[in-house]
Structure formats: C-alpha cells, structure tokens
Structure 1
C-alpha cells in the first residue's frame, strides 16, 4: 500500500539523478565508432576543439571538456583499457563523438540509461578492450508513503545530496540513475526524503518509468527554410528578435550555435533558443506555389 502510494506520487518526478564513476552499467542508446587516425591525431583533434570554440561553434567550457575526453581516449588506447566520462550535455556529446570519429584504434559508446536520455556518459577504449557495451548506469527506485507528506524534486535532490554525493554528480527524481558502484552506498545510506522514511532498491533499467517529452505541433508556410523564418514562427517571436538572439549566440541548431540568420534547416533538425526551449522541424512539403509547408514541433 505504502509502495503503491509512493509510486503514484513519485512517478511524475522523471528527472533522474545521474552520478558518474570510473566503471558502470547499461544497454540503451549508443554510438559505436572505430575509424580515423590516432595518438598525434588526438592532439590535432584537441586543437580543432579549441579552434571551434574560438570560432564560436562550441563554447570554451565545452571545448575544454572535449579536449579532456580526447585525452582520456588517448590513455585508453595506449593502455588497452576502457574509461568513462561523467554525464555530459548534448552539445558536448555531439562535439566529442565527432572528434573521436576522426581517430583510429578508439571505440566510443554514449549511453544514458533509457532511449530518450539526453545526458549520457561516453565510454572510450581500444576496440579489443571494448567488445561489448560497458555497464555504466544503474537504476534505483526510492519508495515511501508520501500520501500525507508529498515531496518535491528538491526534497529528493536534497536527500540524495545529504548522503555526501555532490551536485555535479547528479540530478533528481523518484527513480534515479547512478553509477553501479554507488548502488550499495545509496541503498544503505538513503533513509529519508523530507520527513518520509524511504526504502531504496535497485531496479532493472527496463523498469524505468520515464515520460516521453510533451510536445505541441503547429504548421507554418514560409518562402524559405532559413532558421530565422522557421524559428521565429515556432517560438512566435519576430525575426528581428530572433536575429538579435542569433547574434548573441543564444540560438543552436542540433546543439551547435548558429552565427548567421540564413542557415537552412531540414526535417529532423532541433532548434534551441536560450530561455525559450526547443523546437523540432517536422515534415516539410513543397506547395504548388513553391513555398514550404513545415510542421513545427515545440517541446513543452
């Protein structure tokens, strides 16, 4: 009864705690890469990451993160071992995977615990050492009787941080994703969320109750597929306003900052605007008058 009540209250709290560690668990989405050049190429790729930051395609912090991942890849290749990153944001995942793509003797796998996970850990290693996807994520369920004492995301986060795990190692939720080596520690240490006594148990990744993102679709007819035309329609702001956001570096396409209003979009592209959320470009149909009828999918 208590567990059922907890599940009903906890299940909407889908934002998951993620805590990284050198080794861990999963079999969800991944990208396998084994082509390119190596050791000296890693230095070239690292320099390219820094140059990308200088040119504005990635920010300096992301470039530094990518450089660190490339350094990790070099060590993994030399030692014939496998290393794992922390949970990374989509822009860093994209840049790191593109950089590693140019290297030989390196296999890279990005895993987040469930199919729609945006934040993932990257595992890098020599192909001979990484013959299967490494286990880098484990799932925990936190349950208790929250009927009289409802708890917020912050309550769950605070309880987990109270065990000594730093904020940099995770986010919050009633179901949490952590490094497998943290499982026993959290099970034995996490006793309360707010004033509610809780039990913490490991669950299979397939048992995660995650919600698909909520979206709202609309359509627009435009003379071009430029980012300023489609994004202004999708976010319902003027092209002038969008142009100023682009100039400020606040607009990204597929996680990469766009620097010009005239960038052309295609079906499947994701446009994100700082402070406004994300927009996916859906089906594009050319009208009889040569214009474009475009489906715009806004993430809520």
Structure 2
C-alpha cells in the first residue's frame, strides 16, 4: 500500500489546529475552576481575625479580598492562591503566616468568590497590581512579602518583577501556562493558542528581592524539575526547598513545609550574614 504523505500531513495539521482551537476557546475551563459565593456570604475562620474588603479596579469589576490580622504584626504577606475554588477555602492557609506575626492579604480573581468581571490575562494582572498598590499605601514595601501558590506563582513573580517587595515565596510554581499545555500535548504550538500569558520564568529574571521556592518531590502535576529550572534563573538570589514525598496540593500537610516557613521568616527578621568566601574551601582543588 502506497502511503500518501501529503494526506497524512494534512490530517496532522487539521488535528493540531482542531486541538489548538479547543485550547484557545475553552482554556478558561482548563486553567480556572472558580467557586462563586453569594453577595451576602460571611467569611469566618477559627483562630483567625479577618476583615472583608472590596476594590473596584475598573467600571463593573469588583475584586473581593480579605485582610487577616495578627497581633503585633511585622508586615504583610500578599497571598496569591491557586486556580480552584475561592478565598472561602483558601483563607484557612492564612494561619501559616499570622502565627509568625504577619498579616495576610488574599484576593479572589475575577469570577471567583464575590469578585466580578470577565477574566482576561491583562485584566487579572491589572487587578492584582491594583490591590497591591492599595497595600503599598498602608505598608512600606520592605514589609511586604509576596507569596504565590501553583498558578498564583506566575502572578506573584509578576508582582515581584514590577515592584520591590521584601521577599518572593513560590510554592509549587509553574514555569508557564504554555509549558503546562505542552506537557500533555507536546506537538501543539501552545504559544499560538494560550491567551493567558503567565511566564513565571521570564518574570523571575527581573526580580531583585530574594526568591524562595518550595516544591514537593512527588508533584505529578508540576514536576519538581520545574522548580529546579526556575531556581537556576537567579541562583545567587534563590533558595530551593524540596519537601520529600509531598505532591502538588498537599505540601502544607508536611511538617517540613512549616519548618521551612519558620526558617524563611527568621531570615527576613535576621538576614543571613554575608560569607567571606576567601576564607572557605570554595576555590580549593581536591583531586585525591
């Protein structure tokens, strides 16, 4: 049987285009899984003091966010959550920082919780910067720590690149949404179909503050090699913590994660002393 290479090529192109268009028109459903909340929903958490706030970032767009308060606060953690549910559930994680005497600001993206507005790449980034600007009016940036989890790491990296926070913490970071698509559909030219531009790796090149990356060794959604690659972008400015046996959504269930947070925040208060490398074995050649 003679193989018609032309027809095979046409079929491959058509299938690729078909899948690409599905990604283009339905990526909202792939990337975001929101939980809507009624306007009268009341936020309440055990062991946490919280104030509900709202910002109108554009006409017709209102962003709902929470301010978790600690006693004798040392600063604010600007927390950017993952792509599921709403701050109704994510708010519980604020306790990891209030126990360290840091307030927490946590917002819902457009279409999540009580937040309104059509989700677009530029719109999401604009909202996040808008709320961050409100925080900057209340607290100097040297007292702001930007924290991102999963898809929130892209937004967190963007904020750190465009502003001057004290520290950037990335938990289970993505490399880019294009790579996320190519992991499952490697033959698709994702850059032509992904409308939500979130290149964490590009943002990290422009970050001036210290970078801390936390990742589970058994993460099957975003492999740990992703965190290793991101840590190599600014190796002198980055510290990578790998939580053994942790996956993508359960990093917080490991005691080692909370020990890591303690170490990171201790360094914020008392930065590590600079090492004089001339008085170390750094440049010793050891061949025997």
* TM-score, length basis structure 1: 0.25
Q: Greater helix share, 1 or 2?
A: 2
Considering Cα pairs closer than 8 Å and 6+ residues apart, tell me whether 1 or 2 has the greater RCO: 1
